[in-house]
Amino acid sequence: MFSDDERALLDLPAFASLATLLPDGTPQMTVMWYRREGDRLHMITPASSRKARNMAKDGRAAIVVTDPDNGYAYVEMRGRIELSHDINAIGATLRAIATRYIGAERAEPYVAARDLSQRVLITFQPEHVIGHFARKP
């Protein structure tokens, strides 16, 4: 689903802006760490968070990831979310995501400091992807 340019941008240690829907249909945005695996994105969040509750009720979501060095280059995605409470998958995914953003040395203590039983694994399956790759003016 992702083009080579989209994969290259998504593999940068950029932040994802995740939009979910509040119970009244209003969008709610959250900046997230993530990891791409094939054509899916994975994220971790507290199970009690507003975004987790939003996704449990309505699995539709949108994500934008912007190139940290060029705000005119970004990947816009719309799709569906699956939530998992599998503690082994949560731990492995959080460790991989933390390594991506803060390095392997700091990732293990970061993961160890979190109660994984209170987290949820978010898997985003894009259904619509648009890559924008304009150059800075």
Alpha carbon distance 64, 7 (integer Å): 13
Kindly list the distances between the CA atom of residue 38 and the CA atoms of 4, 5, 97, in Å, as whole numbers in the listed order: 12, 14, 15
Q: Which of these, 120, 4, 8, 123, lies nearest to 53 by C-alpha position? A: 120
What are the pLDDT digits (tens) for 45-55? 999 999 999 99
What pLDDT sits at residue 136? 83
Task: For residue 1, count other CB atoms closer than 10 A to its CB.
Answer: 14
CA distance 22 to 28: 6
Distances 6 to 50, 58, 64, 123, 130 between C-alpha atoms, Å: 29, 26, 11, 18, 9
Instruction: Give pLDDT, residue 137.
Output: 83
pTM score of the predicted model: 0.94
Domain ranges of the chain: 4-133
Q: Which pLDDT score is estimated for 107?
A: 97
Report pLDDT digits (tens) over 2-25.
999 999 999 999 999 999 999 999
In CATH, what class is 4-133?
Answer: mainly beta
Strand partners, 74: 66, 132
Contacts of 31 by beta carbon, 8 Å cutoff, 6+ apart = 15, 16, 17, 18
